[in-house]
Amino acid sequence: MLIPMGFDHPIFSESLRLIEAALPEGALQGLSVPERDVLLRLIHSSGDLSLVSGVSFSPQACERGLRALSAQVPILTDTAMAAAAVAPMARRTFGNVVRSVLDWAPEQAPKGGTRAALGMQEALRSHPGAVVLIGSAPTALELLLEQVRSSQVAPPALVIGMPVGFVGVAESKAHLAASALPQIRLDGSRGGAGLVGAAVNALLRRAWLDQAASA
């Protein structure tokens, strides 16, 4: 697809070319265009070619994400850092509202809980059907799954579940995998604000390019 002049920085374009050349032959085979975009941007953002075998997409997850983002649904993140990573691309494309769930969180973490989990509960009620990014807090991911399972909130349009770390992380990702939610997931201990931001930025970029191509 022809990229509008000036949309991608030359360094980003060259990085993608080098990544594709470095990947094993056939590594991207079978991926849809948006899945490929997401995977390449994750590798670009992390410098880690091994992510090619660690990222999972539920059927039609990226396509659902594209439709939601182009319809300007809000984007919710579990940290201010992830929100900061996404806001520039959102402003440049569809103008989606980007907010951290910490905006709804109490000043102090409750005993035995986290601010992100409590904030997630209120954020999901305020923005039903949002695109949700979780790069740090497995507790927020578990809370989201529990709230959806008990029909207390509407299912998000897409969950990008990549909490980083070792405590509760693998378990929360396994629970996400077992759910029926549209999802992009990075299994294992890897993840982080930069990666969830990269994933949704790839989708915002693809949705914007698709819209430009059809205009």
Burial category of 24 from C-beta neighbours within 10 Å (exposed 0-12, middle 13-18, buried 19 and up): exposed
In the residue annotation, 175 being an active-site residue is answered as: no
Residue at token pair 């209120």: 122
DSSP β-ladder status, 183-186 and 55-57: antiparallel
**C-alpha torsion sign, points 209, 213, 214, 215:** positive
* Partners of 160 in the β-ladder: 133, 184
Q: Which residues, including other chains, have CB under 8 Å from residue 90's CB and lie 6 or more apart?
A: 75, 96, 97, 98, 204
How far is 50 from 43, CA to CA, in rounded Å?
A: 8
3-state secondary structure of 186: strand
Query: Choosing from 9, 44, 127, 175, which is the catalytic residue?
Result: 44
HSE, side-chain direction, 13 A CA sphere, residue 190: 16
| Catalytically annotated residues | 44
